[in-house]
Amino acid sequence: MDLFEYQGKQFFRQYEIPTVAGGVATTVEQAVEVADDIGYPVAVKAQVQVGGRGKAGGIAVVNSAEEAREAAERILGMDIKSHTVNTLWIEKGADIDKEFYVSYTLDRSAKEDLGMLSREGGVEIETVADEDPDAIARIHINPVDGLTIEAAQDWVERAQLGVSADVQKQVTELIMQLYDAYIQGDAELAEINPLVVTNSGDVVALDAKVSLDEAAAVRHPEWENYEKPPILDERERMANDLGLQYVGLDGTVGVMANGAGLAMSTLDTVSQVGGAPANFLDIGGGAKADLVANALNVINSDDKVKSVFINIFGGITRGEEVAAGIVEGMSRVDLRVPVIVRLDGTNAEEGRIILDEAINADRFDGKLIRENTMLDAANRAVGIAEGKE
């Protein structure tokens, strides 16, 4: 469950993490009223669950009611990466001296929590990782032991924030509080970007990005107060109605895989060979005909898609069952573009025979293609999507 910024700050305040005073508005009049109550200057901030809102013009610092009205009129209804702005967060303007970045998430490969602290805040952490990786101090935390004050102090020192001893102490206290929020609040991600030092020397969370583990909802009845965001992407709306795990992206290669990990690897492989994935779609452990048909219909509804890459690894579900489901599912869809299938795992050879029989019989007018490896399939899908085949 991803929270809006204002909800993330409500979440932070439960753990005594300092934030800036503010209020929510869904209309222009409400925005002006909240701004007047807070006192100028204020920041008018679009509430969307996507990055880059500042670059898109979704954040404005204003100094009067007239400016607040103009900003609210402009930002409400704005489209930011296919997300429509329906809610604003109006908060007191901050006199910023320095900006940092801090976050916690799970490093699955290390089986430990991963903390990242950077002296370069206010920009996307991916950009910092590419351009100045030494600016990020990392720490791995055994969740059984937790984050000790000694480890936190060492982590802050390694980050070389360039602040006074008093500010460094405040940062250390805040990252301890953020870790408590991450653990006790059952968060999958707790991120502050930027974490700011004001001109008066206070350390404050100026933004909040929080993703909660929905599997832990039984322990958190208070989560019912968090508004679930509307599904604004028509592809995602369709997938949600069909019970599919789908996230729309902006590329031209449709992706379908059985398992979230394999789906993510497939997206990475498509990108590595120079393509752009159009979506993330996890069809779960199997590939029954109904499921394949529903998934293909969702991908097929995206006009930008030029090819579809189905990447299946048979585990408990046997390869011949998966292949039969793919063939039957494809027969129920009016396909616009070629479908490239890679099938491996249990009884993969039997499954490949079924796919080859359908290909040799030209059941899908040449739109069914089989490749043996994930890399070959990705290259083929990208080549078709880019018009090279």
Which residues are known catalytic residues?
A: 101, 191
- Tokens 């359908």 — which residue? 358
Q: How many CA atoms lie within 13 A of 201 on its CB side?
A: 7
Report whether 203 contacts 18 (CB < 8 A). yes
Contact 256, 310 (CB under 8 A): yes
Return the ∠ at Cα 103 (arms to 71 and 17), rounded to 5°: 70
Contacts of 352 (CB under 8 A, 6+ apart): 319, 323, 343, 370
Query: Nearest 5 degrees, angle CA 87-CA 213-CA 282?
Result: 90
Residues 364, 341: Cα–Cα separation, whole Å: 13
User: Cα angle vertex 383, ends 378, 385, to 5°?
Assistant: 95
Q: How many CB atoms lie within 10 A of CB 227?
A: 13
Q: Are 101 and 128 in contact (CB under 8 A)?
A: yes
Give the largest Cα separation in the chain, rounded.
75
Q: Which CA distances in Å does 199 have to 9, 91, 139, 161, 165?
A: 21, 17, 28, 15, 15
Residue 339 CA: distances (Å) to CA of 160, 345, 367: 51, 20, 6
- CA angle 150/176/106 to nearest 5° reads 100
Residue 369 host element (H or E): strand 368-371
Alpha-carbon span 342 to 340, nearest angstrom? 7
Let me know: does 368 contact 341? Beta carbons within 8 Å: yes
